Structure 1
Amino acid sequence: MIQHSLKTLVIVTWLSLSATLATAKTTATHEFLLDNGLKLIVREDHRAPVVVSMVWYKVGGSYEPLGLTGVSHVLEHMMFKNTKKLKTGEFSRIMSKIGAQENAFTSKDATSYHQMLSAERLPVSFELEAERMQNLIIDDQEFSKEIKVVMEERRLRTTDKPTSLTYERFLATAHQTSPYKNPIVGWQRDLEAMTSEDIRHWYQQWYAPNNAVIVVVGDIQPKAVLELAKKYFGPIKPKQLPVLKPIYEHNTPGERRLTVELPAQLPVLLMGFNVPVIKTTKQAWEPYALRLLAAVLDGGYSARIQKNIVRGKEVAAFANASYNAFSRSDSLFILNGSPNRQKQKNMQDLENALWQEITAIQQAPPTVTELNRIVAQVISGLIYQQDSIRTQANLIGGLESIGLDWQLADQDLDKLKAITPHQIQQVAKKYLVRERLTIAELKPKGLHLK
C-alpha cells in the first residue's frame, strides 16, 4: 500500500511538473521600449483573471555614498506620501478600495513598487504609479515623521535582534571595498543626519522613466498594456542619469574574524567566502557551479550538511548554505549554523565540521547520482516558481534591474544541467579558501564557548 501510494505520488508530481514546464515554455513574453526610455515587459499568463504590476527603479542600497546610507529605503517610504494629485495614504486607500494587494521593497540593487489586482484594474495602477514617478512632494513635516518610522524599523529588525546585528557587522567586514557592506536600512548615524533635501535630491536624480522597468504578468493582452503605458508613462520626460562605474570587491584580503557578544539565546557561526556572480565572473559557468555547490551542501533533507552535521554527528542544532548569483557586484558564499549545545558542541566543533564537508568536496567531486538528485531538486523548484505570477514578475524585474536580460531566466535550467561534478569540485577548491573567508561569531553574553 505504501509503495503503491509512493509510486502514485511520483507519477502525479512528474505530471504536475511536466504540465507546469509546458505552461512556462509556451508563455509569451513581450518587451517594449517607450520613446522616453522606459522599458516595459509583459508576460501573458491567462490561468486566472489577475495581474501583477511592478515598477522597478534601478537604484538601491549599493548606489548610496557613505554618509547617505538608507536614503533609497527612506524614499520608498515617502513614495506613499503627498503628490500633486494624491494626499498622504491615498495611494494605499485607492488600492484597497479596488481590492488590490500592494507593497514595496528596497534591495541592494533596486527599489520596487508592486500590486496584484484584477486585470481590468490595471489602468488604476498605471495612473497612480505615473503620478508618483513624476509628482512626488517631499514635505518637511512628513519626512520628520517618516524618518522616525524608519529608525524604529531599524531598531526592531536589526539593533534589537542579535542575529541581525551580527549579520550586519559580518557583511561590513566581508565586503571590503564595495558598497554591499552597508545595510539597506542605513547606518543609524546616517539616518539621524538625513534631511528632506537629501530625499528630494535622490528622487530627482534617480526616479525617471529611463531608469525604470515596468513588469506586468498575468491575464492581459500585451498591446493593450503597451497602450496604457504610452498613455500614462509616455508623457513623462526622461532625465540625465548619473554615470555609473563598475563596483568591485577586494576578494582575497585574507581571513577576517570578529566576535559579537550580545544578549542572545543561541550562539551563531557565520562563514562567508567572497565569490563572483554572473555579472562579474570571468568564467560564465562558475556561478551555476556555485549554486549547485550550495545545493550539494544544503539542498534538502538528504544534502550533506543535514545528513552529516545536523543528524549524523549531531554537531549543529541547525546549519545552512546559501549563495546568490544575481547582483551588481560580487557576492558571498555563506555557511551558517549554531552548535548543538545539548551534545556539548561548541563553535570550534561546528567550524571544523563545516570545513570537513568543504574539504571532502575539494578532494572528491560529488557523484553523478548525487548531482542528478540535486539538479532535479533545483529544477523542480524553478519550475514550481512558474505557478506564481508574482514570482515570475520578481524574477524578470530583478534581472533587468541589475543589467541582465530577463531571458537569462529561460536559460537557467539548461545552464544548471550542463554543470559537471568536476566543475563543482573546481569552484570549491578555487573559492572556498581562507584568503577569501570572513568568520563572525555571535556569542551570547555570559555563555563561555570555546
Structure 2
Amino acid sequence: MTVSARRSGVCLLALAAVLSLQPARAQESPTPPVAAPAAAAVEAQAKRPAITSFTLENGLQVVVLPDRRAPVVTQMIWYKVGSADEERGQSGIAHFLEHLMFKGTRNHPAGEFSGAVAAIGGEENAFTSYDYTAYYQQVPVEALERMMGFEADRMENLVLTDEVVLPERNVILEERGMRIDNEPGAQLGEAIDAALFQNSPYGTPVIGWRGEMEKLSRDDAIRFYDKYYTPNNATLLIAGDVDAEAVRGMAERTFGQVKRRAEPGPRLRPQEPAPLAAREVSLSDARVTQPSVQTVYLAPSEMNGKPGEAEALDLLADILGGGTTSRLYRALVVEKGLAAGTGAYYQGTAIDDGQFITYATPRGEATLADVETATEEEVARLLRDGVTAEELEAAKNRVRKALIYLADSQTAMARRYGAALSIGQTIDEVDSWPARIEAVTVDQVNAVAREVLQAKRSVTGRLLPGGLSDEADAKAPAGSPAAAGIPADPNSPPAPVGDTRS
C-alpha cells in the first residue's frame, strides 16, 4: 500500500515524467506555430480505441480503456475519499482502512484475494492520498471477472473485529516510525506541509499524526468504511485487452450486486487564507548525509485554478527545472558548478490548492546557502525577463513526448484517468488536456509565474547534517559523488514520502 505525502497526484503529465516550466517576460513575438510532433501526437491519440464509460444502477461509474497489445488487464477501483476528508482528530484513518481492506471478508478469509493474484503471476497494490484511495490488480485477462468479484466483495463484506483492527493499527504505527520518524527528509516534508497549509487539511500528513493514530479504533474504521466505501462513491477503471460490453456484463454480475449504502455528500473542506508571509523551516539531523533545500509555493490546482493556469504551471515547471535543458540545471549545474542536482515540478492534481516546488543540493565546496541564492536569482531573472517563445515550444514538445510514453503503460493510463475522475474532472477534460497545453501562451506562463512565485506564498525547507544550524556551513560530505562534482540525476526530485505495501 502506498501513502502519498504531499499530493499523490502531480498534474496529469507527471504520471509519466516530472514537468517543469519557467516564466518569461511578455514577448512581442508570438508563440511558434504547432510543430509536426504535435500533429503526430494528435494522430496517435486519434488511433487509440475509444474509451467507454457507463454507470451501474447502484451509482458506480465504470470506465473501460482498451489496450490490445497484450492479453493483460488492469483493474483499479478508486474511492473518492482521502486523508483530507477525515474528521478532525482522526488523521490516518483513510490509510488505516486501506490496510484493513486486505483483511478477510464474510466470503473470503484473509489472504485469499492476494493469494489468488499471486498464484496467476499477477500484481496488486493500493495507495492513499489526500483526495482518493485506490486499489489495483494487473492479471491475465481471463482472470478479470474473478478479480472483480473479489474487489466487489470487499466493498461491502469486510470483517472488522478488534482481533483484526488492533494488530493492524500497530502495523501502521510501525510504518510511520520507519518511513517518517526515522527519515529526516520525511520529517522535514511534514513540517513544510504544516507550514504551507495553515488551514487546509493538506497540512496534515496522509499517514496521520502519531498521537491520533494511536487512538484509532474498530468503531472509527467501521464508520469510515460504511460512509465512504459505497459504489456511488467509487470509479472502476478497467484497462487492457477487453471489450466494453463484456466488461459491462462482468461489472453488473459483480459490482452491480453491491448495494448503495451511504451518501457521502459534497467534499467541503477548510480553505487556505491568502498567504501573507514567507516561512522557513530547517531540520538538522546526524542521519543527513546530503544537505538540500526546497522551496514550496502555494499554487492553484487543476480544480480551483482559473482556466489555463494548471497547464501554464506544468509548462513553467518544465522550463524552470524540468531536466538538463532547464534554466536551473544550466545555471546551477553546468555554468556555476554549484549543484549536484536541481529542478522544479508542479503538483496540481488536487481538489483544493496545489504546489509548485524548486529544489537543489550543493556539490563540491558549494554550500547550501550558495545553491539557495543561485536558485532565487534564477527565479528572479525569470520573473524579470520572462520565458521566451522558443522555451515554451520546447516545453510543449517534451509534454507531447511524455504523453506518448505515458500511453505505453497500461497502469499509468488508468492512474491518469482515475486520479482525474476522483477529484471531479471528466473524461473529456482528461482527453482535452493536450489541446489545452498547446493553447498556452507566453503571456499566460509569465502571468502565472508572477502570481505564484512570490515569497509570501512560499515555505523554504532546509535539510542539514547533524550539528549544523547554519546553511552557510552545509556542504556535500567529503567522499560523496556530490563532493566530487558528479551531478545527480536532474529528473529525480525529492521523492514524496510514502508507505509501500510489500
Report the TM-score range of the alignment, normalised by the length of the smaller protein: over 0.9
Kindly indicate which of the two structures has a greater share of residues assigned to helix.
1
* Counterpart pick for 1:237 among 256, 259, 263: 259
Match status 1:126 vs 2:148: yes
Evaluate the alpha carbon distance shift between residue 198 and residue 110 of structure 1 in structure 2; reply closer, same or farther with a 3 A threshold. same
Match status 1:182 vs 2:231: no
Rounded Cα–Cα distance in structure 2 between residues aligned with 1:295 and 1:149: 39
1:270 maps to amino acid: Q
* Counterpart pick for 2:331 among 300, 308, 321: 308
* Counterpart pick for 1:365 among 381, 386, 405: 386
Deviations 1:335-370 (A, max 9, x none): 112223x22x22332222111111112122222222
Deviation at 1:318, TM superposition (A): 1.4
* Counterpart pick for 1:422 among 425, 435, 443: 443
Rounded Cα–Cα distance in structure 2 between residues aligned with 1:291 and 1:24: 23
- Superposed, 1:149-160 pairs within 5 Å as 149-160=171-182
Deviations 1:54-74 (A, max 9, x none): 011111111112321111111
Does the 8 Å contact 1:166/1:440 carry over to 2? yes
Rounded Cα–Cα distance in structure 2 between residues aligned with 1:417 and 1:20: 11
Rounded Cα–Cα distance in structure 2 between residues aligned with 1:229 and 1:222: 10
Deviations 1:261-319 (A, max 9, x none): 222112221211111112111x2011111111100011221111111112211222211
Which residue of 2 is the match for residue 95 of structure 1? 117
Does the 8 Å contact 1:59/1:109 carry over to 2? yes
Deviation at 1:23, TM superposition (A): 5.5
Deviation at 1:325, TM superposition (A): 1.8
Evaluate the alpha carbon distance shift between residue 82 and residue 444 of structure 1 in structure 2; reply closer, same or farther with a 3 A threshold. same
Deviations 1:84-113 (A, max 9, x none): 011111110111123321111111111111
Which residue of 1 is the match for residue 63 of structure 2? 41
Which residue of 1 is the match for residue 349 of structure 2? 326
Match status 1:351 vs 2:372: yes
SS of alignment partner, residue 90 of structure 2: coil
- Superposed, 1:14-163 pairs within 5 Å as 18=40, 22=44, 25-163=47-185
Deviation at 1:240, TM superposition (A): 2.9
Does the 8 Å contact 2:322/2:345 carry over to 1? no
Does the 8 Å contact 1:20/1:386 carry over to 2? no
Does the 8 Å contact 1:21/1:383 carry over to 2? no
1:321 maps to amino acid: A
Does the 8 Å contact 1:397/1:406 carry over to 2? no
2:112 maps to amino acid: E
State the Cα RMSD in Å: 1.8
SS of alignment partner, residue 280 of structure 2: strand
TM-score by length of 1: 0.93
- Superposed, 1:236-315 pairs within 5 Å as 236-243=258-265, 244-263=267-286, 264-281=288-305, 283-315=306-338
Which residue of 2 is the match for residue 7 of structure 1? none
Does the 8 Å contact 2:56/2:252 carry over to 1? yes
Mean Cα deviation higher: 32-41 or 191-200: 191-200
Rounded Cα–Cα distance in structure 2 between residues aligned with 1:31 and 1:384: 24
Rounded Cα–Cα distance in structure 1 between residues aligned with 2:361 and 2:43: 38
Deviation at 1:242, TM superposition (A): 3.1
Rounded Cα–Cα distance in structure 1 between residues aligned with 2:373 and 2:115: 54
Deviation at 1:178, TM superposition (A): 0.7
TM-score by length of 2: 0.83
SS of alignment partner, residue 432 of structure 2: helix
Rounded Cα–Cα distance in structure 1 between residues aligned with 2:298 and 2:394: 27
Deviations 1:1-21 (A, max 9, x none): xxxxxxxxxxxxx99x94895
Percent identity over the alignment is 34
Does the 8 Å contact 2:319/2:392 carry over to 1? yes
Deviations 1:116-174 (A, max 9, x none): 11111111111001110000001212222211111111111111111111111111111
SS of alignment partner, residue 471 of structure 2: coil
Match status 1:405 vs 2:426: yes
Rounded Cα–Cα distance in structure 2 between residues aligned with 1:235 and 1:103: 24
Deviation at 1:53, TM superposition (A): 0.7
Rounded Cα–Cα distance in structure 2 between residues aligned with 1:386 and 1:201: 38
Evaluate the alpha carbon distance shift between residue 30 and residue 399 of structure 1 in structure 2; reply closer, same or farther with a 3 A threshold. same
Does the 8 Å contact 1:20/1:383 carry over to 2? no
Does the 8 Å contact 1:254/1:434 carry over to 2? yes
2:359 maps to amino acid: N
Question: Gaps (5+ residues) in structure 2?
Answer: 1-35, 473-502
Which residue of 2 is the match for residue 336 of structure 1? 359
Rounded Cα–Cα distance in structure 2 between residues aligned with 1:271 and 1:145: 38
Evaluate the alpha carbon distance shift between residue 184 and residue 24 of structure 1 in structure 2; reply closer, same or farther with a 3 A threshold. farther
SS of alignment partner, residue 59 of structure 2: coil
Rounded Cα–Cα distance in structure 2 between residues aligned with 1:53 and 1:176: 37
Rounded Cα–Cα distance in structure 2 between residues aligned with 1:385 and 1:375: 15
Mean Cα deviation higher: 39-48 or 362-371: 362-371
Which residue of 1 is the match for residue 471 of structure 2? 449
SS of alignment partner, residue 281 of structure 2: strand
Rounded Cα–Cα distance in structure 2 between residues aligned with 1:64 and 1:94: 32
SS of alignment partner, residue 63 of structure 2: strand
Which residue of 1 is the match for residue 410 of structure 2? 389
Deviation at 1:24, TM superposition (A): 5.8
